[in-house]
Amino acid sequence: MPARKIDEDILMDKLTEVFRLHGYEGASLSLIAEATGLKRASLYHRFPGGKEEMAESVLQRADEWFVSHILAPLTGKGIPSARIKEMARRLNNFYGGGNSSCLLDSLSLGHDGDAIRQHIERSLTAWIGALVLVARDSGLSPAIAKQRAEEALIGIQGALVLARGTGNTKPFARVLQNLPQLLTVEAKKTKPKSKRSKS
């Protein structure tokens, strides 16, 4: 059974990579079969629901892995900035220093698939939620913590988009480096432009 588990891990890794690189529509069964070394029929034996089930399985697994391996430090002990720094280190590794697209982004285009879209929304919301917790832990108010968490996720996703489009990964590194400050330090006073509300 251990061998079987390893095989499945490798399979899922390959599967994930295809979806991440090509998106849902671009991830044809031919590409998937080639990448995994399994023939079409074998893929349908493991995923009776076809391509849609493959994508959902990939999302589900990535979700669990992300929470337990990337976000885990956030809920540990130690000062918040150190926990965030550790998450940033893992994020950098997870996204290949900025060279890998985010699966949630790649799968969020077209193809109507309702389940996938809902899954993506839940994952992003959970991610923000974890960031809010550590930001609150560092003493930020609920409203500010929410804004900063969203800002952090925006920075990560935006930097990945920029890196994919231009090949420049330095902004991604900079975003990661600024995460501890972003999620812990109270904002310096800036002229309050009158109106300002919650997110």
Query: 65, 96, 154, 186: which one contacts a copy of itself (CB under 8 A)?
Result: 154
- 50 scored as a contact of DNA (CB under 7 A): yes
Q: How far apart are the first and last CA of the chain?
A: 48
Place of tokens 């990945």: 160
**Cα→Cα distances 174→137, 159, 165, 178, 186, Å:** 23, 9, 17, 6, 19
**From the CB of 69, what's the least distance to a copy of itself, in Å?**
21
Q: Which is nearer to DNA, 31 or 144 (CB)?
A: 31
Query: 81, 100, 111, 137: which one contacts a copy of itself (CB under 8 A)?
Result: 111
- 188 scored as a contact of a copy of itself (CB under 8 A): yes
Q: Which is nearer to DNA, 40 or 170 (CB)?
A: 40
- Residue 68's contacts (CB-CB under 8 Å, 6 or more residues apart) are none
Stretch that binds DNA, among 49-57, 69-77, 80-88, 191-199 (CB under 7 A): 49-57
106 binds, among a copy of itself, DNA, none (CB under 5 to 8 A by kind): a copy of itself
CA 88 to chain centre: 12
The candidate with the shortest Cα–Cα distance to 177, out of 91, 94, 100, is 91
**From the CB of 58, what's the least distance to DNA, in Å?**
14
**Would you call 101 exposed, middle or buried from its count of C-beta atoms within 10 A (0-12, 13-18, 19+)?**
buried
Query: 2, 48, 167, 192: which one contacts a copy of itself (CB under 8 A)?
Result: 167
- Residue 182's contacts (CB-CB under 8 Å, 6 or more residues apart) are 148, 151, 152, 155
52 binds, among a copy of itself, DNA, none (CB under 5 to 8 A by kind): DNA
**Would you call 160 exposed, middle or buried from its count of C-beta atoms within 10 A (0-12, 13-18, 19+)?**
buried
- Positions in the binding site for a copy of itself (CB under 8 A): 21-27, 101, 104-106, 108-111, 120-121, 124-125, 147, 150-151, 153-159, 161-162, 164-168, 170-171, 174-175, 177, 181, 188, 190, 193, 199
Return residues touching DNA (CB under 7 A). 7, 27-31, 37-42, 44-46, 48, 50-52
